[in-house]
C-alpha cells in the first residue's frame, strides 16, 4: 500500500478562511523507501489576509505570495488532487496533520468544488506522526531523544525534535523540509521500535480501530495535552449517536457504582464537567490505543490490570448502564447551530448525487456552462463557492448583479470582522505589534507587509465607496 508523507504551509491557522500556499509530499513503499516527490505553490487569494506571524514563520514576503508567476489557488489544488489520486491507495501521514494539515486540505478541496475527504476515501488511510513520536517517548523512551524545554517539559516541535535525533531539517517550516524531517523520524521509530510502528500503521485503518475498541473489554487510550501524554484505561460504551465515526469510552479508574446511582440531572452535570469521565475518540483519526495486556504499569494509573479487566467486562455486559451513560452525556452537550459563514460549513452534510455530478462537470465545462452549473447547485455552499471560483477565473462571465454581489462578499472579508476572516485592519494591528515588540523583522518581511496593508486598505476603501451605495460602519 505504501505511504504518503505530506505537509502544508499556510497563511494562518484559521481553517476555512486561511489558505494553503505551499504543499509538499513524498511517496514511499511499505519499507519507507522514497519512490516519488511532489511540490506545489500558489499565489494569494484576493480575499485572504495572511497573518504576519505566518509570513515570518514561513519566511515568505508578501510580494512572493502575490507573484503572478505562481499558479492560482484553484490550479494548485487541482494539481495536488491529481497527484494524490495517482498515489492512492496509501497511508497519509503528516506531523500534527489530522488536526491541521488534513483540515486545510479538506477545506481547499471543498472550496474548489472537489470531494473533500480524499485522504479517507479511495482506499486511503491516515495517521499522525506527532502522536507516534509522543507515544514512542512514553512507551519506548530509548527510541527517540526528546528535547526538554525551559519549564522541564518535553518538546515535540518538529524543528527541535528532528535535529535532536540526527534527522535532517535544514529549513524548518518549508513544506518539503518538514516532510523530509517527518519521514526521518518515522524511520527512527520503525527501526528502533518496530512493534510500536506496526501498531501505528495498524490503527491508521478506520475499520481496524472500530473492531478493536468494540471487541476489547478494556484498553488504554493515550491523549496528548500540552506535549504531555495522558494514559487512561477505558472501556467503550458504544458509538456516539451524533458522530458516525465517534466512540464514547468510560474511564475504568473511577467509581462506577456511584454513576449508576446518580439521578439523571446530577449524572448529566457530572459527565459534562471538565475533565469528563467519558472520553471521546474517532475511529477515523488514528487514535493511540494499547491493549490492557500490552500496557506497562505506568499507563494504568496505579490500577491492577486484573481488576480493570473485570470492571471493563462487567460494564460492557450491562447494556442498560452503557445506554444510560451515552444518553446522559449526549443530552448534556451544547446544541450546535450552523455557522453563518459558508467557510465553516464543510461538515454540514455531504453533497447529493446530482450535485456531485455537477461538481465533476464544473471543472471541464466552458466558462458559460460553468456559470450555469454553479447556479444549478442544490447545495447553497457549492453555489457560493462555484460563483466565487468563476469570479476568480473570469469575472466578465458573470452578470453585473452577480459580479457586484461577489465583490461585496469578498471585500467584506477584507474589512468586516463579522464576515469571519482575518481583516486588513486586524493584520495591520498585528504587524504593528510585532514591529514594536521584540520580533526580528527578518528580510524586511514585516515592514514590507505593513506597507502592503496600508496601500491595500486605501484601495479597498476607495473601491467600496465607488461601487456600493453606502460605506459599512464598525468594520475594524
Each residue of 312-331: pLDDT tens digit?
999 999 999 999 999 999 99
Of 61-65, 71-75, 440-444, least confident by mean pLDDT is: 440-444
Residue 273: pLDDT over 90: no
Same structural domain, 126 and 166: yes
Same structural domain, 263 and 146: no
pLDDT of residue 470: 55
3-class DSSP state for residue 125?
Answer: strand
Residue 475: pLDDT over 50: no
CB count, 10 Å around CB of 275?
11
Q: How many domains is the chain built from?
A: 3
Contact 101, 6 (CB under 8 A): yes
224: left (phi over 0), alpha (psi -120 to 50) or beta: beta
Range of the domain at 224: 206-331
Q: How does DSSP classify residue 5?
A: E
Band of residue 471 on the pLDDT scale cut at 50, 70, 90: very low
Task: Give the integer Cα–Cα distance in Å for 474 and 353.
Answer: 42
Answer positive or negative: Cα dihedral of 106, 108, 109, 110: positive
Residue 376: pLDDT over 80: yes
Residue 473: pLDDT over 80: no
- State the average pLDDT over residues 338-367: 95
Task: Give the integer Cα–Cα distance in Å for 136 and 131.
Answer: 8
Is 85 inside any structural domain?
yes
pLDDT of residue 474: 43
Task: Give the integer Cα–Cα distance in Å for 277 and 325.
Answer: 10
- State the average pLDDT over residues 418-426: 95
- State the average pLDDT over residues 445-467: 94
**pLDDT exceeding 70 applies to what percent of the chain?**
98
Burial of residue 231 (number of CB atoms within 10 Å: 0-12, 13-18, 19+):
buried
Single out the residue of 239, 391, 245 nearest to residue 329, CA to CA.
239
Same structural domain, 99 and 40: yes
pLDDT of residue 332: 86
Q: Residues 6 or more apart from 132 whose CB is under 8 A from it? A: 185, 186, 189, 196, 197, 200
Same structural domain, 108 and 30: yes
pLDDT of residue 239: 95
96-153 confidence digits (pLDDT tens): 999 999 999 999 999 999 999 999 999 999 999 999 998 898 888 889 999 998 888 8
CATH number at residue 213: 3.30.1520.20
CA of 75: how far to CAs of 102, 118, 384, 389, in Å? 19, 17, 19, 11
Say whether the peptide bond before residue 275 is cis (omega within 30 degrees of 0): yes
Out of 166, 197, 228, pick the residue that ends a domain: 197
Of 222-231, 362-371, 461-470, the range with the highest mean pLDDT is 362-371
- Main-chain dihedrals φ then ψ at residue 128, nearest 5 degrees: -130, 120
Give residue for cell 473511577: 254
> pLDDT averaged over the chain?
92
Amino acid at each position: 500500500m505504501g505511504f504518503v508523507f505530506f505537509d502544508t504551509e499556510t497563511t494562518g491557522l484559521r481553517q476555512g478562511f486561511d489558505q494553503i500556499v505551499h504543499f509538499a509530499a513524498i511517496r514511499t513503499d511499505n519499507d519507507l523507501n522514497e519512490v516519488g516527490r511532489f511540490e506545489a505553490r500558489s499565489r494569494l487569494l484576493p480575499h485572504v489576509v495572511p497573518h504576519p506571524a505566518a509570513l515570518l514563520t514561513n519566511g515568505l514576503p508578501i510580494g512572493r505570495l502575490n507573484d503572478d508567476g505562481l499558479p492560482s489557488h484553484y490550479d494548485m489544488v487541482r494539481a495536488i488532487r491529481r497527484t494524490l489520486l495517482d498515489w492512492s491507495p496509501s497511508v497519509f501521514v503528516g506531523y500534527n496533520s489530522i488536526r491541521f494539515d488534513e483540515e486545510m486540505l479538506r477545506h481547499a478541496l471543498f472550496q474548489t468544488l472537489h470531494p473533500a475527504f480524499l485522504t479517507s476515501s479511495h482506499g486511503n488511510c491516515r495517521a499522525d506522526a506527532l502522536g507516534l513520536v509522543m507515544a514512542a517517548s512514553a512507551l519506548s523512551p530509548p527510541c527517540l531523544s526528546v528535547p526538554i524545554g525551559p519549564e522541564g517539559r518535553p518538546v515535540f516541535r518538529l524543528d527541535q525534535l528532528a535535529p535532536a535525533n540526527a534527522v535532517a531539517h535544514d529549513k524548518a517550516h518549508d513544506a518539503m523540509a518538514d516532510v523530509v524531517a517527518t519521514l526521518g523520524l518515522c524511520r527512527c521509530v520503525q527501526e528502533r521500535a518496530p512493534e510500536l510502528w506496526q501498531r501505528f500503521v495498524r490503527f491508521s485503518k478506520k475499520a481496524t480501530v472500530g473492531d478493536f475498541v468494540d471487541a476489547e473489554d478494556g484498553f488504554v487510550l493515550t491523549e496528548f495535552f500540552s506535549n504531555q501524554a495522558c494514559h487512561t484505561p477505558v472501556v467503550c460504551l458504544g458509538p456516539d449517536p451524533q458522530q458516525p465515526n465517534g466512540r464514547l469510552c468510560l474511564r475504568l479508574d473511577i467509581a462506577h457504582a456511584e454513576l449508576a446511582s446518580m439521578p439523571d440531572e446530577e449524572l448529566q452535570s457530572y459527565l459534562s464537567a471538565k475533565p469528563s469521565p467519558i472520553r471521546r475518540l474517532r475511529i477515523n483519526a488514528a487514535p493511540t490505543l494499547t491493549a490492557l495486556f500490552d500496557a506497562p504499569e505506568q499507563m494504568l494509573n496505579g490500577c491492577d490490570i486484573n481488576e480493570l479487566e473485570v470492571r471493563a467486562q462487567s460494564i460492557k455486559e450491562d447494556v442498560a448502564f452503557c445506554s444510560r451513560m451515552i444518553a446522559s452525556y449526549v443530552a448534556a452537550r451544547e446544541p450546535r447551530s450552523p455557522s453563518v459563514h459558508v467557510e465553516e460549513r464543510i461538515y454540514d452534510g455531504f453533497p447529493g448525487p446530482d450535485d456531485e455530478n455537477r461538481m465533476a462537470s464544473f471543472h471541464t465545462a466552458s466558462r458559460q456552462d460553468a456559470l450555469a452549473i454553479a447556479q444549478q447547485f442544490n447545495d447553497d455552499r457549492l453555489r457560493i463557492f462555484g460563483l466565487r471560483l468563476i469570479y476568480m477565473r473570469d469575472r466578465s462571465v458573470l452578470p453585473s448583479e452577480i459580479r457586484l454581489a461577489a465583490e461585496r462578499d469578498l471585500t467584506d472579508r477584507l474589512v468586516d470582522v463579522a464576515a469571519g476572516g482575518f481583516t486588513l485592519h486586524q493584520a495591520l494591528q498585528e504587524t504593528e505589534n510585532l514591529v514594536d515588540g521584540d520580533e526580528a523583522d527578518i528580510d524586511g518581511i514585516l515592514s514590507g507587509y505593513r506597507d502592503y496593508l496600508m496601500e491595500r486598505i486605501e484601495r479597498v476603501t476607495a473601491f467600496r465607496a465607488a461601487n456600493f451605495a453606502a460605506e459599512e460602519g464598525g468594520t475594524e
